[in-house]
Structure 1
């Protein structure tokens, strides 16, 4: 490192307020961020500028090593954060940025930490004594360009996944006749009959001009309480803080349904001295609805495709009890609960004074109304939206695999470089 880095020791006079200077913090990920500090600075302070490398003496072994970003034009640090300027004739900043994240570099850096346990530090001298693979500038550029192109393609795949999901959901809403109207033009120019202006608002007239008359539901609106037997909630005894071990009983947490898919990991183990209540055991095919949480997660609903045994319903989650030969498919209900009109109903009926814990009552949930197609159409709609989500998931998996492969290729190139003379 001493061949490609020069230590910067530029004192900065700071008397309390920083003025144009910005204090920083370095995350274990290597990200350098502005630091909000209200207390007065004491002791010597030093300058760092975009492209400079800085590290925390005490946390460098955990990954707190990074480059000052362009968004922080004038950084200021204490003596606990040594600053170095890379030699631009030998080292590209982007190459250095990724090199700092390489597994073998971090392992070498950890070995440079010295001192008592819990207070080990990396000194500037120790940091500069590290050996790194140093390809030529052209090869550095080629490695970074290949890695960057792979990341760009991965980003594109995730954007495609998002678009697939949005299109699938829009098709679901449109089929039910509840898709949101298109946005109004910024500077509308339109013609309306005077008798229409007398009857309707200018916004309604404009919407008719842009997208035609207001959408009508393609299927009859049906009340949830007229379709199901009941909503039952479970039991919330005092449990351990960890998930249930193998063969143990567990009680679901709200996180099991908060994000619209069932997550069996979100549970707490039932203490051995408490007798489980098997009548509350969650089964495949159940539809679960959160009755309490922060606003956006109250009414969150999940269909249980599969579940491990011995997981119990908690008292903050409702389970839907369907009628025999029900005209409502469980998977369709789980999707209908995400509709904008349903969410508006839920959020208008919340109770509770705490901003972090709102509630909705059973009667309020049973009073929800949504379009109800026949069973054949319900099945088609949930199959279609399921297929769109599966396509999106495949795109995201491809993106994750591409990122991992690109990084593995970059690191492999560095290991190859270590067979040549190191700097």
Structure 2
């Protein structure tokens, strides 16, 4: 507030808290009436005395308006607080402690009849004044969370919302028909975003099917053979484990040969393990870690700064070159993610939890091989390595990487596959970006409509 003096009408003075008054002085659409929250929300205090022999449902309200969900069910004898309140489907619930962080929501059928302690408030919604979907939307906005914050007091971390202040807070409320139209406009954007997201998911599945088809595989062929006898050429026998042998039988193409890097060393130039870094704050040099290496994408914002002198002394052969493949070598949920290095990501160094595979580009299209590693066929082989290790920290390692089986068609076919999948991936990226933008735009347009701001 830049003004030295700010004025409020006496008939709008709901309480004497200056902070509360200033917080609730805001821009809004003047076509809409300002009404007290308490004019459409009425506290419901249906008390329940917890019986030791009865099983009760209990709820959780997620932060930032992410909904009301069933937390658990518990027998009464294990519930310490015996005086609680019953809730029903369709009520508006909030957490007194976390309302300032957006812990609001509408009770669903799943939690109908659940019990809540005095740290939660349940309200009946006057549907003749407010559309429940509009209520959900307006509680999603930053402005509404600011209202909840201004109505909360107490020590940091244990602030509780003051029910009276909250119910006396005024919000802009259009007429029901306008509420309905605003909700429909919002939902149309959300539906479009969901459609775009679904198209992206379908394209991901199409990529797998396309890859299987071009490589001469049936989708069901990746299951283990049920034959009583299975045969494998001695020259392809890389390990003596029956499990690994049977798993590798599933990667047989009807069109092309299957090789490991060990079986055909001409496929690669070198493999490097990353370096153990010497970290230093505020330096110019950076090092990549597993978090940077996504699914054929690098996110440099997760990189760490390292000592410039240490960085300059590194052998330049270890630095990324166009066409190199970075593969995460450790970690549950991160192992096996691969990225093909493009021009903009040359001359980068990576830590010891990442492997660099430098292929012979006369025989291997590195983008094709990256897609193969990232697909179901590649990831299942890496998963088999994980399941064979008893320790908590799974290591892909250079030797394990050399034993992975790859279907290697002629280079022209590799190029065709790589280009086709790249185009499909670009479509997926576009659809996901549009979906994200439409979701954000839907809320921004709602806030602009109601509060004259985004």
1:118 shift after superposition: 4.0
Please give the secondary structure, in 2, of the residue aligned with 1:359: coil
Instruction: Answer yes or no: is the 8 Å Cα contact 2:273–2:353 preserved in 1.
Output: yes
Match of 1:388 in 2: 424
Equivalent residue for 2:59, pick from 6, 19, 24: 24
Provide the secondary structure at the position in 2 that maps to 1:150: helix
Equivalent of 1:95 in 131, 134, 152: 134
Question: Pairwise mapping of residues 403-418 of structure 1 onto structure 2 (< 5 A)?
Answer: 403-415=439-451
Equivalent position to 2:340, from 303, 323, 326: 303
In structure 1, C-alpha distance between the alignment counterparts of 2:62 and 2:157, rounded to whole Å:
18
**Matched residue, 1:400:** 436
Unaligned runs of 5+ in 1: 185-197, 202-213, 418-423
1:144 equivalent in alignment to 2:174: no
Contact 1:217/1:371 (<8 A) preserved: no
Q: Is the 8 A contact 1:164 1:388 kept in 2?
A: yes
| Root mean square deviation of aligned Cα | 3.2
Structure 2 counterparts to residues 9-158 of structure 1, below 5 A: 9-15=45-51, 19=55, 21-30=56-65, 31-36=67-72, 40-42=79-81, 44-158=83-197
**Are the structure 2 counterparts of residues 25 and 17 from structure 1 closer, same or farther at C-alpha, using a change threshold of 3 Å?**
farther
User: In 1, are the aligned partners of 2:134 and 2:183 still within 8 Å (CA)?
Assistant: yes
Please report how far the alpha carbon of residue 389 of structure 1 lies from its aligned counterpart in structure 2 after TM superposition. Answer: 0.9
Q: Distance in 2 between matches of 1:316 and 1:13?
A: 56
Q: CA deviation at 1:336?
A: 2.0
SS of alignment partner, residue 171 of structure 2: coil
Aligned residues: 384
- Name the SS for the 1:319 alignment partner: strand
TM-score norm. by structure 1 comes to 0.80
Name the SS for the 1:352 alignment partner: coil
State whether structure 2 residue 328 is matched by structure 1 residue 293. no
- Give the drift of 1:16: 5.2
Q: Equivalents in 2 of 1:258, 1:161: separation in Å?
A: 17
Which of 218, 234, 241 is the equivalent residue of 2:255? 218
Contact 1:329 1:378 in 2 (8 A): yes
Q: How big is the shift at 1:63?
A: 1.0
CA distance in structure 2 between the partners assigned to 1:36 and 1:376 by the alignment = 57
Match of 2:394 in 1: 358
Offset from partner CA, 1:68-109 (integer Å, 9 cap, x none)? 122111121111212211112212211111111122222222
Q: In the alignment, is the contact (CA less than 8 A) between 2:321 and 2:347 conserved in 1?
A: no
Q: For the Cα contact (< 8 Å) 1:248–1:310, is it kept in 2?
A: no
Query: 1:23/1:161 Cα in 2 relative to 1: closer, same or farther (>3 Å)?
Result: same
CA distance in structure 1 between the aligned counterparts of 2:424 and 2:401, rounded to whole angstroms: 28
Distance 2:305 2:253 in 1: 48
Q: Distance in 2 between matches of 1:64 and 1:282?
A: 46
Gaps of 5+ in 2: 1-36, 231-250
Return the alpha-carbon distance in structure 1 between the equivalents of residues 313 and 302 of structure 2: 18
Deviates more, 1:371-380 or 1:55-64: 371-380
Counterpart for residue 313 of structure 1: 350
Q: Secondary structure at the match of 2:447?
A: helix
The answer to whether residue 195 in structure 2 is matched with residue 159 in structure 1 is no
What is the match of residue 269 of structure 1?
Answer: 305
Partner of 1:342: 378
Provide the rounded CA distance (Å) in 2 between the counterparts of 1:12 and 1:51: 19
